Every structure is written in structure tokens, then in C-alpha cells.
Amino acid sequence: MADTTGFPITNALLFAVVVFSPPALFYVVLRLPALARRFTRRKRQVPTRPPIQDLAADLRRVHRLLTEYGPGTPMARRLGARQAYDALLIEACAAVEVEHRLEKLPEGMDREIERLRLEESLRSAGLAIP
């Protein structure tokens, strides 16, 4: 006589796959658009740059540092603060869509004039900066 103990279990597993696969497949297909919307919505919520209020506050802080440096301040510290101020100006210009040439100009009078022009343009755009 043949051993048939494994036969009913195999049939039960095959029956379960045949019965539960189509509903599970339809459920996944129906949920894909909702999952895609949720994924894209989360992706869009990630800010690409800091809030404009934070940029304005950083600009004010670094500008205050630059004006408070006395005659004995090391040149490296002055240069670092000026570069940080320029980077913040560039970021603020990108946030409010103001054209700038700050990256292209060498250090000197032309660059200082561009800084002043950018500060005025940012003030005109509504930023509270010095």
C-alpha cells in the first residue's frame, strides 16, 4: 500500500494558493496608486533649502560679526566670516530669485559693490537684513 500522508497537505496548500492569490494580487494592484501618491507627497515635503527667515537671521548675525571685528582681528577670521556672508547672500538670492555675480567677481572693490547691490535687492524683496 502506498503512503498518502503528504497528499492532503499538498492539496490544501495548492488550494490556499489558488484561492488567496487573486484577491491578494488585486489588493496590491488597487493599492499601488495610493502608495505612489503617498511616496511622492513625502518626497515633495522635504525642503531643499532653509526657511527664508533663518537665512535672514544668519545674514544679520554674520553681518554683525563682520562689523564688530576690531583692528586686531586675524585676517583668516575676517576672510572666513566674509566668505560665510557671501555664501549666505548667494543662498538668499537663490531663495528670492535675485540675480547675482558674486561668485564670478574677484575679491576687491567690484565684489564689495556687488555685496551692497545684493543687500539692497534683498531688502527690496522683503528680507530684513542690515
pLDDT of 2 strictly over 60: no
**Exposure class string for 33-50: b at 16+ Cβ within 10 A, else e:** eeeeeeeeeeeeeeeeee
Using DSSP, state whether 102 is helix, strand or coil: coil
Predicted structure pTM score: 0.63
Specify whether 56 is located in the same domain as 120: yes
**Domain boundaries, position 90:** 52-124
Tens digits of per-residue pLDDT, 31-83? 888 888 887 776 655 567 788 899 999 999 999 999 999 889 999 999 999 99
93 and 118 assigned to the same domain? yes
Question: Same structural domain for residues 29 and 70?
Answer: no
Instruction: Identify the pLDDT of residue 39.
Output: 79
User: For residue range 75-100, what is the model confidence (pLDDT) as tens digits?
Assistant: 999 999 999 999 999 999 998 989 99
Number of domains in the chain: 2
Kindly state whether residue 130 falls inside one of the protein's structural domains: no
